[in-house]
Amino acid sequence: MSTVHIPFLQTGTLAVGGRLLDDAERSVQSHADRPSSLTKGHRACQGCAEALAARWVMDTAVEATDGRLVVANATGCLEVFSTLYPESAWKPPWIHSLFANAAAVATGIASSLHAQGRDDVRVLAQGGDGGTVDIGLAAVSGMFERNDDVLYVCYDNQGYMNTGVQRSSATPASARTATTPAVGRHPGAPQGTGKSMVKIAMAHEIPYVASATVADLRDLEHKVRTAMAIRGARYLHVLVPCPLGWGSQSSESISLSRAAVQSGIFPVVEARAGELTDVQRIRERADVEEYLRPQARFAHLFKPGGEDGLQRWRALAEANIRHYDLLGGRP
Amino acid sequence: MSDHDAPPTLGLSTGPATSLAYHTGAWRTERPVYVDLAPPCSLACPSGEDIRAWLGSTQEGEAGFEAAWRQIVAANPLPAVMGRICYHPCQAACNRGEVDEEVGINAVERFLGDTAIARGWALPEPGASSGRRVLVVGSGPAGLSAAYHLRRRGHEVVVREAAAQPGGMMRYGIPAYRLPRDVLAAEIRRIEATGVRIECGARVESLDEAQAEFDAVVLTVGAGVAHHVDIPAGAAAKIVDAIDVLRDVASGHAPLLGRRVAVYGGGNTAMDAARTARRLGAQDAVVVYRRTREQMPAHPTELEDAVGEGVRVQWLSTISEVSGPTVTIERMELDEDGRPRGTGEFEELDADTVMLAVGQEADLSLLAGVTDVEVRDGVIAVDPGTLMTGRDGVFAAGDASPGSRTATFAIGRGARAAAAVDAWLASRVLPAEPVLREATADRLTPWYYSDAPQQHRAELEAARRVTGFEEVLTGLDAEHAVFEARRCMSCGSCFECDNCFGMCPDDAIRKLGPGMRYEIDYDYCKGCGICAAECPCGAIDMIPEVR
């Protein structure tokens, strides 16, 4: 990817920082005085990757805009765990209205700022997969179509987690949720379901679309910075493992993200005006099992009768590797 | 950026309160704690060097070189020597071997050692004078190490050496193509500069007299006498001891060995002897060894280098007779226990000279008639903790005492003997060496260490090597040494990569600044364990929360 290349100094680009790095080479997160836009004391579960990704995204956006940033948040885990009345864990100006309308609220803020001649103040909207892919899709699509000057960030934990782990339209096939139990001949979420919001966003041919994970901080910061340097509608899709909904260990949120990318299950890409412009290559190829096995929602794939489902995951990873050339020509 | 500004107060608070009021630390069932574990390299280093620490200083480049060298000489006063001749058990233990290739620790040590000589860095000043006098018998690695460490503790130290030059086996056993003599001389001079007096050509004949003159005595007489085997030999047979040949060459008296040389034995001395024979003009140098390659005591790189220089090895063979230029060899086979036994099949080998390299013994003539210093299995018996012999105030270290016969082991034991002498002189009990918890490979997250292959030392062309005693391995330059040092994964010790700080979903880790590491804010830490899981070097433990 076109991220900052960090010279090999004991660790390379993949660690957060490093004592031998020049200040200019450091990630936002490695600074002792980083903004910490989402403060400690929030009520996210232990090991919540959404909380982590939200701080990474917001801190980078705050730095990129010199603090002139307004945030609209959809209903969802992120909104619930950060703003239990009367407290807020947010430092930037932040507003929550409804589940479906974060993109529309952000559009309104951007238009209003523009009308006041305050184009220096930037707008970011964010939500989970429920607020983006399901309930808020119409507003998001409208914002894209009008090319409103908003960066929309979706933190995709693949389900309605804070309400009790119900299926969303971003829940992948085979995953067990409260509404797709692992019973019967086709346990878990039905095959063939689960939208690709990245492809939907690309189809709108907006200026910038990207995906990222919490397994690569530098890549994520680079994408937020790139997005903030562009005017118009932008979309960032971040995969955020959910220990509660996925049935994984709280310590595994980063290693699962890594496995998702290294197995080919989650392509990390960049696109401009609908054209794919960059793809993060697989660095150390992992089997899909490395991603699936630690998650209790896929436990049935590793029991008798689970072979078909497992095979489909392998096929999905292979298809992604082919489609996005994730191995970069390597065998 | 500071926390929220105070909300405006208009009778009622309209601004939000902050989540900082809520201490999520109460949720925790396990807490992360930073630990400092011992890395496998240091645990494997017989000299007791804090390798991770001095590699850490080297990583900083030019600014860190002297500090790194000082960290080495805290344990080992001969870095330039050991950077050449050490068999680096540290590298065999290095966890990086499981990621790509072990860190070239030995090459970095040599770089620092050579840099110190070039820049004239001095060893640390000795401590305040204790008024006590200690005699060290023998100036090999154990003796020099003991002398240096005793001097640092303020004792007056005299080293008496029977040979004409100091250095022991480093001077008279290891060929110059592995250890140039100017390097050895420079490091010995530096020890002398701290006030250690080395008297050469001064064989110590009487332990009683030595004890009358000194408050304590350290015996580091080495094992410089060749072991012998009985081989039927005709009058015309030329059989010499390999160690004598090496000593003669080192003293400037290269013997005539002939065009065909057989070396009997499979240790490092056998390799040195065969390689030396090649350099003295032998066109055919054959090592005759009675076991297999797997069982050979010589270090694999020594064997590799020898073979690379055209030395042949005749495996599973013993010499049964030498008559003139013909050597009769019996083929061996391994029995069920892996021991070699004769097959009754013989063959003949042409050899102008047979060099025996079948082991070395300690010259313990000094102890003749001494009844309270026990000699067991050919070496001086010592208390394993204090290295004191059966006689009060007499200590022993190095090849003449039990343990591995390597220079690095000798340096470690020399240092230990110095600590023991120091404690004994002060009537203190020497604390036992601490048992440290090891930073094992399974604690690491290798993902974060970018693939960076070892910076191999350029080797001279094999063809060039056999023409003389020029040094075979060249050193690293500063850039490569720094790169190599940066391949160190700092196993078990935080090196401030910021992963814990950056990856905490709860913003519950404080970064304290360069060299100060981090602090966990247990008011907010939920104990998810991401910091421990993503710590590259395994420096965080998760321990059960006790409330």
Q: How far, in Å, CA of A53 to CA of A306, rounded?
A: 32
Q: For residue B10, what pLDDT is reported?
A: 47
CB A209 within 8 A of CB A196: no
Closest CA to A248 of A282, A314, A298, A311: A298
- pLDDT confidence tier of residue B464, bands split at 50, 70 and 90: low
Contacts of A18 in chain B (CB under 8 A): 496-498
User: Mean pLDDT, to the nearest integer, of A277-296?
Assistant: 96
Residues 89-118 of A with CB under 8 A from B: 89, 91
Q: For residue B450, what pLDDT is reported?
A: 75
User: Mean pLDDT, to the nearest integer, of B427-437?
Assistant: 92
Residue B288 pLDDT greater than 80, yes or no: yes
Sequence-distant (6+) residues with CB within 8 A of A45 are: A81, A242, A243, A244, A250
- pLDDT confidence tier of residue B1, bands split at 50, 70 and 90: very low
Residue B454 pLDDT greater than 80, yes or no: no
Between B206 and B324, residue with greater pLDDT = B206
Residue B141 pLDDT greater than 70, yes or no: yes
Nearest to A40 among B4, B486, B521 (CB): B521
In a domain? residue A68: yes
CB B375 within 8 A of CB B357: no
In a domain? residue A154: yes
pLDDT in tens, A104-113: 999 999 999 9
Residue B106 pLDDT greater than 70, yes or no: yes
- pLDDT confidence tier of residue B9, bands split at 50, 70 and 90: very low
CB contact under 8 A, B530 and A253: yes
SS (H, E, C) B502-538: HHCCCCCEEECCCCCCEEECCCCCCCCCHHHHHCCCC
CB A244 within 8 A of CB A45: yes
In a domain? residue A6: no
- pLDDT confidence tier of residue A24, bands split at 50, 70 and 90: confident
Between A259 and B14, residue with greater pLDDT = A259
Residue B358 pLDDT greater than 80, yes or no: yes
Please report the domains of chain B, with CATH numbers, ordered by start residue.
Answer: 18-36+494-544 (3.30.70.20), 41-121+446-486 (1.10.1060.10), 133-224+362-425 (3.50.50.60), 227-358 (3.50.50.60)
Token pair of A253 as six digits:
């949120």
Which site among B14, B96, B534 would you substitute to test the A interface, given the most A Cβ atoms closer than 10 Å to its Cβ?
A: B534
Question: Cβ–Cβ contacts within 10 Å for residue B17, how many?
Answer: 15
Residue B95 pLDDT greater than 50, yes or no: yes
Q: For residue B2, what pLDDT is reported?
A: 45
- CATH number of the domain that residue A305 is part of: 3.40.50.970
Token pair of B51 as six digits:
């390798």
- Interface check for B375 against chain A (CB to CB < 8 A): the answer is no
Q: How far, in Å, CA of B180 to CA of A213, rounded?
A: 55
SS (H, E, C) chain A: CCCCCCCCECECCCCCCCCCCCHHHCCHHHCCCCCCCECCCCCCCCCCHHHHHHHHHHHHHHHHCCCCEEEEECCCHHHHHHCCCCEECECCCEEECCCCCHHHHHHHHHHHHHHCCCCCCEEEEEEEHHHHHHCCHHHHHHHHHCCCCCEEEEEECCCECCCCCECCCCCCCCCCCCCCCCCCCCCCCCCCCCCCHHHHHHHCCCCEEEEEECCCHHHHHHHHHHHHCCCCCEEEEEECCCHHHHCCCHHHHHHHHHHHHHCCCCCCEEEECCEEEEECCCCCCCCHHHHHCCCHHHHHHHCCCCHHHHHHHHHHHHHHHHHHCCCCCCC
Prior bond to A86 cis, omega within 30?
A: yes
- pLDDT confidence tier of residue B323, bands split at 50, 70 and 90: confident
Q: How far, in Å, CA of A155 to CA of A220, rounded?
A: 12
- pLDDT confidence tier of residue B15, bands split at 50, 70 and 90: low
CB contact under 8 A, B490 and A10: yes
CB contact under 8 A, A43 and B529: no
* Residue B327 CA, distance from chain mean position: 38
CB contact under 8 A, A52 and B16: no
Token pair of B298 as six digits:
């010589």
pLDDT in tens, B474-484: 888 999 999 99
* ipTM at complex level: 0.96
Q: For residue B268, what pLDDT is reported?
A: 93
Q: What percent of chain B has pLDDT above 90?
A: 83
Nearest to B513 among A32, A49, A82 (CB): A32
**Count of alpha carbons within 13 Å of B248, Cβ hemisphere only?**
15
Instruction: Name the minimum distance, in Å, from the CA of B395 to any CA of chain A.
Output: 43
Its domain, for residue A245, covers 32-324
Q: In whole angstroms, how far apart are CA A109 and each of A121, A149, B257, B384?
A: 10, 10, 94, 78
SS3 B258: coil
- Interface check for B514 against chain A (CB to CB < 8 A): the answer is yes
Residues 57-116 of B with CB under 8 A from A: 59-60
CB contact under 8 A, B502 and A27: yes
Helix locations, B443-524, DSSP H: 462-465, 478-486, 499-503
User: Mean pLDDT, to the nearest integer, of B500-519?
Assistant: 97
Contacts of B513 in chain A (CB under 8 A): 32
User: Mean pLDDT, to the nearest integer, of B40-49?
Assistant: 97
Instruction: Name the minimum distance, in Å, from the CA of B452 to any CA of chain A.
Output: 8
User: Mean pLDDT, to the nearest integer, of A160-188?
Assistant: 95
In a domain? residue A67: yes
Q: For residue A2, what pLDDT is reported?
A: 45
User: Mean pLDDT, to the nearest integer, of A299-326?
Assistant: 95
- Interface check for A191 against chain B (CB to CB < 8 A): the answer is no
pLDDT in tens, B55-77: 999 999 999 999 999 999 999 99
Q: For residue B443, what pLDDT is reported?
A: 96
Which site among A21, A40, A62 would you substitute to test the B interface, given the most B Cβ atoms closer than 10 Å to its Cβ?
A: A40
* pTM, to two decimals: 0.91
Nearest to A15 among B19, B24, B448 (CB): B448
Please give the mean pLDDT across all residues of chain B. Answer: 92
Nearest to A41 among B24, B450, B499 (CB): B24
Contacts of B532 in chain A (CB under 8 A): 251
User: Mean pLDDT, to the nearest integer, of A229-243?
Assistant: 98
In a domain? residue A253: yes
Question: Cβ–Cβ contacts within 10 Å for residue B105, how many?
Answer: 28
Q: How far, in Å, CA of A84 to CA of A77, rounded?
A: 11
Q: For residue B6, what pLDDT is reported?
A: 52
Q: How far, in Å, CA of A262 to CA of A251, rounded?
A: 18
Residue B304 pLDDT greater than 60, yes or no: yes
SS3 B495: coil
User: Mean pLDDT, to the nearest integer, of A170-185?
Assistant: 95
Token pair of B98 as six digits:
């499981």
Q: What percent of chain B has pLDDT above 70?
A: 94
Q: Residues B457-470, buried b or exposed e (16+ Cβ, 10 A)? A: beeeeeeebbeebe
- Beta partners for residue B225, in sequence order: B361
Q: For residue B297, what pLDDT is reported?
A: 92
Please give the mean pLDDT across all residues of chain A. Answer: 95
Q: For residue B75, what pLDDT is reported?
A: 98
Q: How far, in Å, CA of B381 to CA of B373, rounded?
A: 7
Q: For residue B14, what pLDDT is reported?
A: 57
Residue B329 pLDDT greater than 50, yes or no: yes
Closest CA to A22 of A3, A4, A1: A4
Residue B209 pLDDT greater than 60, yes or no: yes
Residues 262-291 of A with CB under 8 A from B: 284
